[in-house]
Structure 1
């Protein structure tokens, strides 16, 4: 199988959980929507292009390896929001609710709300993707070139979380996704030996015991499974984004062909 493997490393990252309202929590590992969104940004696909985003989501299988979980950091913010009377007045005047965040601040009445947003600090991951048989999206080599020279800014879940290192994407062949991560780790270790101490340390990160969570179709054997609502259904800039549920599994590094069948749910950590 052909895989595209790349690195996601930054001082801060945020992998959103289901968090309506003022509490914005984060998972300890990247979500599918965040990784596919990063690829879409590299390719130059804009928000609202549901057809192109849908081809990416439908045509790619994903696995994520955690090198460092990092630590949780909760940031306190305040948000200016329209009041209910202000929204009613806006709808009466314009015939529809505010289409954007900027438009909502034009409501005649606003108020301030506190917000708590969780981030992961000093976390590092590697992601692997492969094309599904029915994929109509871009080839892996095209995605690799886009990650090297992205059209839009790449970030780790939120715009305030830029990458600390280039993603270093590599296309390679392997029997399974675990082997793909191992081969990539070897390549990065060789590259890290030739670079400065700080960058080299990150590239040489030991992954022999790193957790790998993947889409079910990439699993030969797994320990447990979890459900995440992170498959993008709609990215209309004028409406809240909608997501569907995906099942992901925690792989073992034993290359046995058997599959465990008893799922166990896991929540944010």
Structure 2
């Protein structure tokens, strides 16, 4: 049997958000990091383009241990409504605004003063009485209320299992020397501390059982007796255990994902398991 190796990744921060089905006005978060989100994190660290094939990166076996599950919080958001400064892009993207904004100034308004043509009154554009600057009115009269869900104060230990140790070491190096900005599912959620912890020999189950809880997950004095949940990917289909987060490709339209399967386990961490004091 081919030897397996596991890259252990620490995902912790004030906020995390791992969407599954959220779109537009409702942006959900899963209770734990998704495989698609973590593979996207690794691809960004490696500097891969969105249309670039994921190759072996999508073939890793995925697992996540919830050392501290966190608390779900709802963020109240409003989009649109009010007035906004007139931007150059408004003239490029809206032909009606462009036509109005480039029309000559009416003589009955400005008299004989020779003003540039953009001093006309474009559609949905008015003058801010306070500053006198041109501002663009939103077409919608009422703001759109959106829901955005996050996990607050959570800490997860993610494992990526593969036979190719060199691949995992390359990903580990990239996570600590990323070519692009990294975040925990959404741009408003930067990670804290180190991401890549270690590449260890064995399976996901063995790695989760043989390594202590993350230091920022629980007080070490309270760690005795705690058996965290872990979700480990299954190599074969299982009824009722499907997750629609297997990345096929990433692109500007949200990417393409397929179904994978996973099993939930209670993890009993080996007594006196090595901690992270040296690594962190």
Unaligned runs of 5+ residues in structure 1 are 82-89, 94-107, 193-197, 255-269
Helix, strand or coil: the match of 1:27? Answer: coil
Unaligned runs of 5+ residues in structure 2 are 82-92, 97-136, 269-280
Instruction: Tell whether the 8 Å contact from 2:67 to 2:217 is kept in structure 1 after alignment.
Output: no
Distance 1:109 1:212, change over 3 A: same
Instruction: Tell whether the 8 Å contact from 1:71 to 1:121 is kept in structure 2 after alignment.
Output: yes
Question: Of the two structures, which has the highest relative contact order with CA contacts closer than 8 Å and spacing of 6 or more?
Answer: 2
Shift of 1:164: 1.7
- CA deviations 1:55-81 (Å, max 9, x no partner) are 421x21110000111111111112349
**Residue 36 of structure 1: which of 25, 36, 39 is its match?**
39
Shift of 1:248: 1.6
Asked if residue 235 in structure 1 is aligned to residue 250 in structure 2, the reply is: yes
Distance 1:12 1:253, change over 3 A: closer
Match in the other structure for 1:20: 23
Match in the other structure for 2:230: 212
Which one has a bigger Cα radius of gyration?
A: 2
Distance 1:253 1:240, change over 3 A: closer
The alignment's TM-score, normalised by the length of structure 2, stands at 0.64
Matches within 5 A, 1:50-129: 50-51=52-53, 53-57=54-58, 59-80=59-80, 110-111=139-140, 112-129=143-160
Across the aligned residues of Structure 1 and Structure 2, the Cα RMSD in angstroms comes to 3.4
In the alignment of these two chains, the number of paired residues is 211
1 or 2, which has the higher helix percentage?
A: 1
Shift of 1:241: 2.8
Instruction: Tell whether the 8 Å contact from 2:35 to 2:62 is kept in structure 1 after alignment.
Output: yes
Matches within 5 A, 1:145-156: 145-156=173-184
Distance 1:12 1:61, change over 3 A: same
Distance 1:142 1:77, change over 3 A: same
Matches within 5 A, 1:189-268: 208-217=226-235, 226-237=241-252, 239-253=253-267
Structure 1 runs of 4+ with >3 Å offset: 90-93, 108-112, 198-202, 204-208
Distance 1:138 1:54, change over 3 A: same
